[in-house]
Amino acid sequence: MKKNGSRCHQLEDVSFVLPTDVPRKGRKVPAPPLGVPPQVGRREAAEARHPGFVRDGRFTAGAYTVPRFDFERCPICLRPDDLTDEHVPMKSLGGKVMTRTCSDCNNRLGSVSEAALRSVVAGEVIVEAARQGADGFRGFRKATVALRQAPSAIPEMHVTSGDNELLAAISSGEPLAVRYRLFDPFPSGIAILKYAYLAACIWLREIPITEEAESIRLVLMAIRDGEELPEDVCEAISGLIHILVLVENPSHDLGSIVLVEPTTVHSGWGFVLGQRLRCPWPFSDVQPTDRRDA
C-alpha cells in the first residue's frame, strides 16, 4: 500500500467546534451536514475541505437510471461462488445493493477503502495541535475534524474524534498551534476505481473481457490480497480523487447509480453515485453505447 505523503499546512485563524457529545479516543461523532456553502476563502483551507473536488448542484446532461444486475460470478475476481450483496456506492453514501461480488472482494476491498472515501466526502482532515508551555508550543496531538465554512469566513473545524488531552485543551480555550494534513488519497482512490468498474459492468450487463478491464481486475485483486503495487499504479489510483465531482442538492433522484451523458463541462460519460459523487466512465475500449440492448 502507498504511504501517506501529505505535508502539513499551518492554520492561523480557525474556530474549533466541539459537539455536545464530546468524542473520545476510539469513538467518533458524525460530521455536520455539508449543505451548499461557499468555498472557504483561504486557499489552503479550501483545499483541505474537498481536495480536488469540483462542485456541481445539478444534472445538465441526459441521465439514465442504472438498474440492479446480478452476475453469475464475481465481476472482480470472476469466482462463481460465495457471492454477497454489494452496495454501489457504499450504504453510508446513499448506495443500494446493485450487484453481487464474492465475500473477499466485497469485504476486504471495503475495509481498506470505504472509511477513507467517506471522510473525503465529509470534508474531514487530520489536525495536529500543540499546547503552549514555558518553552513554546510542544507536544502535538491529533484529532479528526470536518472543515466547514463559517459566516465570518473563518474556517470552522468540527471535531469528530481526537486525543483526550487535545479535546480538553480545545474545550478550555487555551492557545494552540494548529496545523492540518489531508488524508492519504490512495484508499479513497481504491473505492472510486472499484465503484466505477462495478457501475460500468452493471450498466453493460456483462463483465468486459478486454485488456483494460482485466488490468483493473488485477489491480483490485492485488489490493484485496495485500500485495505491493508499482509506484506509478499507486500514484494513478491516488490521483482519482482529483477527478471526482461533488454533486450537492441534485435536482433528480434517479437511483443509486445514474449514467450521465457528456457535456461541455464533462467531456466524457460518467456516473453519479448515491446522488453525491460524479466519477468518469472507467473504460476507453468499451463505451456505454456498446451495451447489447442499448
List pLDDT tens digits, range 47-93: 333 333 344 444 445 788 899 999 999 999 999 999 999 999 999 88
For the entire predicted model, the pTM comes to 0.78
In angstroms, the CA 17 to CA 152 distance is 14
Task: Give start and end residues of each alpha helix (H) in the chain.
Answer: 43-49, 103-121, 164-172, 185-204, 211-224, 231-238
Cell, residue 200: 460500468
Where in the chain are the domains? Answer: 9-52+120-181
SS3 track for 162-187: ECHHHHHHHHHCCCEEEEEECCCHHH
Check if the beta carbon of residue 150 is closer than 8 Å to that of residue 15: yes
Check if the beta carbon of residue 183 is closer than 8 Å to that of residue 119: yes
Mean pLDDT value of segment 100-106: 98
Cβ neighbours, 10 Å, residue 134: 5
pLDDT over 70 for what percent of the chain?
72
- Mean pLDDT score of the chain, rounded to an integer? 79
Band of the pLDDT at 118, cuts 50, 70, 90? confident
List pLDDT tens digits, range 271-292: 999 888 889 999 999 999 998 7
Mean pLDDT value of segment 211-234: 97
Band of the pLDDT at 204, cuts 50, 70, 90? very high
Check if the beta carbon of residue 259 is closer than 8 Å to that of residue 98: no
**What's the pLDDT score for residue 120?**
83
In angstroms, the CA 22 to CA 230 distance is 42
**What's the pLDDT score for residue 248?**
60
Check if the beta carbon of residue 288 is closer than 8 Å to that of residue 294: yes
Mean pLDDT value of segment 146-166: 73
In angstroms, the CA 59 to CA 250 distance is 7
User: What single-letter DSSP state applies at residue 195?
Assistant: H
Bridge partners, residue 148, by sequence: 156
- Regarding predicted confidence, which is higher, 174 or 218? 218
